Amino acid sequence: MGRIWFGQRGPAPCPVVYDSDMSEIGGSPSPALRVGVIGMGAVGPILAAAFTQAGHTLVGVSARSQNSQERVDAILPGVAVVSPAQLVPECDLVVFTVRDQEIAPLVTELAQAQAFRAGQLVAHVSGAHGLDVLQPAAAAGTIPLALHPAQTFSGTSLDLQRLPGTHWAVNAPRALLAVAQALVLDLGGIPHVLPDSARPLYHAALAHGANHLVIVVSQALRALRMAGLDDPAAYTEPLFKAAFDRVLQEGEAGLSGPVVRGDSQTVALHLKALQDGPVLDKDDLDPALPFDDLADVPDSYRALARAAAQRLRQRGSLSPTQYDQLRKILD
């Protein structure tokens, strides 16, 4: 194979891989592979099912806990559940979906047991790690692949509906990037080559934007319930979706609210309300739901409001006086 070039076919933002003579070598389904997936948490069963739907053969999976076994039974009925040492030698493609901190020790253990063989594809789906954690397998002649889907997983079959169209950060030895891309294309994904050096920042950004968003929204819903709203999720859905659409389209310019206006009095009122907690007595609330003192919410509000004020001041959207008044309240 000569030098690899990256292009695009048609209007869709889907990478296509070309050889040095500009003949297309990527973008079409990869040959059927014998696949094994190690780790049956939220991600493993979904990818195992997706590879099967893409025409590959699922040799088996490895699951340790009772919860993992139940996921296998629900999503992959009848699939063999074996140890990693038994599974790896039987596969063309081994996918590690265990926790990030477990990848390197497990790969090392399997390499020491001579479970890997030359020519195998060995992949993990960690966002924070690159090819380094697969080095013991690569030393045995395997082809290491880092494949991370920018998607949230619940561990249920509903995840299969979210997978098509998901963007993936991929890396592999340069001459074999087409292999990583082809596997993602098989799953209906959109691959993006991301070097190992960028992965920690990449993953931190995704965690901050997606994981921490869950906390912020759940805190807002809890506060609204303590304010007396029966269905905070239904009440806020149009607002939250509109805010999310605006930030994706406009970035920070989509920010609204009292901090943008430099309204320190309203910010102070918000903090007092959050610190005072529920306006309803326990007897006024649904007894089936827990009473919530909202003790963790003021600190989150302060931290995010400070971050907003700092960015607004840097952009010149707040005057020095407005910024100083906000910081006095928020510090």
Write down which residue in 168, 194, 220 finishes a domain: 194
Same domain for 30 and 70:
yes
Query: With 70 as the cut, is the pLDDT of residue 7 above it?
Result: no
Same domain for 97 and 20:
yes
Question: How many domains is the chain built from?
Answer: 2
Residue 238 three-state SS: helix
If you write DSSP's letter for every residue of 21-81 in order, what string do you get? Answer: T--B-SSSPPPP-EEEEE--SSSHHHHHHHHHHTT-EEEEEE--SHHHHHHHHHHSTT--B
Same domain for 275 and 247:
yes
Same domain for 251 and 205:
yes
Q: Determine the structural domain holding residue 318 and report its residue range.
A: 201-330
Same domain for 95 and 15:
yes
Same domain for 181 and 213:
no
Same domain for 311 and 261:
yes
What average pLDDT does the segment 273-298 reach?
Answer: 79
Write down which residue in 194, 217, 236 finishes a domain: 194
- Each residue of 20-35: pLDDT tens digit? 333 344 444 457 999 9
Same domain for 208 and 187:
no
pLDDT at 5: 32
pLDDT at 283: 67
- Each residue of 223-234: pLDDT tens digit? 999 998 989 999
For the chain, strand residue ranges (E) read: 5-8, 15-18, 34-38, 57-62, 93-96, 121-124, 143-149, 167-171, 190-193
- Each residue of 68-83: pLDDT tens digit? 999 999 999 999 999 9
- Each residue of 139-181: pLDDT tens digit? 999 999 999 999 999 999 999 999 999 999 999 999 999 999 9
Same domain for 170 and 238:
no
Query: With 80 as the cut, is the pLDDT of residue 86 above it?
Result: yes
Same domain for 274 and 178:
no
pLDDT at 278: 80
- What CATH number did the domain enclosing 104 receive? 3.40.50.720
Residue 27 amino acid letter: G
State the chain's mean pLDDT as an integer. 89
As to burial, measured by CB atoms within 10 angstroms (0-12 exposed, 13-18 middle, 19+ buried), residue 34 is middle
% of the chain beyond a pLDDT of 90? 82
Note the pTM of the prediction, 2 decimals. 0.84
Query: With 80 as the cut, is the pLDDT of residue 9 above it?
Result: no
Measured CA to CA, the distance from residue 255 to residue 317 in angstroms comes to 11
Write down which residue in 194, 219, 254 finishes a domain: 194
Same domain for 313 and 230:
yes
Report the DSSP pairing between strands 167-171 and 143-149.
Answer: antiparallel
With bands split at pLDDT 50, 70 and 90, how would you rate the model's confidence at 318? very high
More confident residue, 114 or 285: 114
Measured CA to CA, the distance from residue 72 to residue 78 in angstroms comes to 8
Same domain for 164 and 113:
yes
